[in-house]
Amino acid sequence: MVENTGTWCSLHKFHEWNSMTDLCNRVSASSLTATVPSNDSDDKIIRGYACGNNSVPYQVSLNAGYHLCGGSLVSDQWVLTAAHCYKPQLQVRLGESNIRKVEGSEQIVYASKIIPHPKYDNDTTDNDIMLIKLNSPATINSRVSTVSLPNSCPTFDTECLVSGWDDTVNVGSKCYLERNFSSDLQCLNAPILSDSVCHSDYPHQITRNMFCVGVVEEGKDTCQYDSGGPVVCNRELQGVVSWGANCGEKGKPGVSTKVCNYLEWIQRTIEAN
């Protein structure tokens, strides 16, 4: 469970916090409202594109007084995200498109249970997966719906859709609250890379529970998008955005948690709760 301190570093593994600076303390975690910094360059979409209103209806925003992570609605009462997004109290926002506007399609629900994988490793980021139970079921409609879990593991070169509200440019070591958020949900189409390429790009860091996504020669990768967010391939949730090196750095794709390895844990956890 990630509750320790630190700032956003070049290795995009953790949303960790310090007592931080005055700027980073502007947002109170107790307010539990969606708060993001203003940004005058919202139309500057680099390497990805604006998804379009409610075109990714399974995408959720996790909030802890500020937009923290992305996630995926996998049933009317359960969200799948990354374990490093853990906070003891979370608000789940569904039906979001523009994160700074009230558009009328939003559903705001609190988490009643937050369950990181019991073998999540904070050091290696292995088993970076977490389930969140909503305190009331989501209303399924054209703007809020679930995404299917995979029937099998993904294969090399499969095209996937990654989405989130995270940075549209490389922001280096900026404090989290200073980072450039896009108002509108951003999408990226990118293929799954081969295991050999993934291991070569990150020697001794990739476990059997991870895979790489990106167009490395163009600097497109998932680390530009929300941690915990969806990697959907052929309409199945194959990945949870986990970590990566500097955003958009050639030869350093984004790394995702391989959902297919956790189907039994997901089913068992939902049935027990």
Return the domain boundaries, the chain.
Answer: 159-260
pLDDT for residue 101: 82
Q: Which stretches of the chain score pLDDT less than 50?
A: 1-46, 167-179, 224
> Annotated catalytic residue: which of 84, 166, 201, 242?
84
> Annotated catalytic residue: which of 67, 117, 126, 128?
128
Selection from 221, 226, 228 nearest residue 245 by Cα: 221
Strands 186-191, 159-164: pairing is antiparallel
pLDDT digits (tens, 9 = 90+) for 34-84: 333 333 333 222 367 889 888 999 999 999 988 889 999 999 999 999 999
> Annotated catalytic residue: which of 61, 227, 242, 256?
227
227 catalytic residue (yes or no): yes
Task: Note whether 82 and 13 are within 8 A (CB).
Answer: no
Helix, strand, or coil (residue 252): coil
pLDDT for residue 21: 31
Using the structure block, give the residue that is written with the tokens 């350093």.
Answer: 252
CA distances from 155 to 22, 42, 59, 110, 115 (A): 46, 34, 23, 35, 28
Architecture of domain 159-260: Beta Barrel (2.40)
pLDDT for residue 216: 64
pTM of the model: 0.80
Structure tokens at 130: 């977490």
84 catalytic residue (yes or no): yes
